Structure 1
């Protein structure tokens, strides 16, 4: 049986989860410099949001994501759950560079599909320790599923 994670005090753990999520956000911001212009130049489905929606939506998702990881850790989370959570952060971090930086929208679509599955697994693992941690992942999952559909529509339309 896996043993619970033993880590620094609560404030340091929260700072750790927040820092990990912030790194993902910084990677996205670094490679998304021309994202607004690129997005505007794409053929988009009618249900595509205006570009200004993405900043607030991702900010909210990232805050909830950091809190979710911290809640899981506080509840005696297992290393396996944190590893799956970390894999989700990696998949999230590479999406923007693939989609906007390299213009590889189909590969980015495959990445975000994998992210959808990893977040589902994270919710399942987190739920076993902390319902709150799992519930904090749900808005993030809904957002990335919507983003996945938008990514696929962009692949098809462009």
Structure 2
């Protein structure tokens, strides 16, 4: 395999960052809004301001992880899993906030969690640092899954 130039590597990293940050862009059409404000929430529900910074760091880590995997010769399966989990990530917000369906969103986030887990394992097999970069994402989505479940139970 021909070595990749620093320019090519930089452009691909920028591409992964752009593609990864497009996932939450779908959610811009389904903001939390008044419906979410009326929901019963647990006392441990994070304040709204925390989500932006947390997701920004998570998406950046995800993009770098995908780039690290791309830099390796054998990465097809791992990157396919990456894009599957990214699509599920993009689907959750319109289902939860847009359609006001916490139960259906719970199903989506369950599949998302499994896809992240499988992606993490596939990334780990290609690049240990790439796998480690996905650990905070899996932890956050675990927390988000519990929160999604709790919101569904409190408001069904």
Instruction: Name stretches of at least 5 consecutive residues in structure 1 with no aligned partner.
Output: 1-5
Instruction: Name stretches of at least 5 consecutive residues in structure 2 with no aligned partner.
Output: none
After TM superposition, what 4+ stretches of structure 1 lie above 2 angstroms from structure 2? 36-40
Alpha-carbon displacement from aligned partner over 1:77-131 (angstroms, at most 9, x marks no partner): 4211111000000000010000000111111111011111111101110111100
From 121, 125, 139, the counterpart of 2:122: 125
Deviation at 1:52, TM superposition (A): 1.2
Partner of 1:18: 17
- Counterpart-to-counterpart distance in 1, 2:108 and 2:61: 21
Partner of 1:3: none
From 37, 41, 64, the counterpart of 2:38: 41
- Counterpart-to-counterpart distance in 2, 1:38 and 1:81: 37
Q: Which moved more, 1:129-138 or 1:43-52?
A: 43-52
- Counterpart-to-counterpart distance in 2, 1:77 and 1:18: 21
- Counterpart-to-counterpart distance in 2, 1:38 and 1:62: 26
TM-score (norm 2): 0.90
1:111 aligns with 2:111: no
- Counterpart-to-counterpart distance in 2, 1:47 and 1:76: 44
Partner of 2:131: 134
1:100 aligns with 2:92: no
- Counterpart-to-counterpart distance in 1, 2:34 and 2:73: 44
Alpha-carbon displacement from aligned partner over 1:39-73 (angstroms, at most 9, x marks no partner): 32211112111111111111111111111111111
| Aligned partner of residue 75 in structure 1, secondary structure | coil
Q: Which moved more, 1:81-90 or 1:55-64?
A: 55-64
Structure 1 residues 62 and 77, CA gap change in structure 2 (3 angstroms): farther
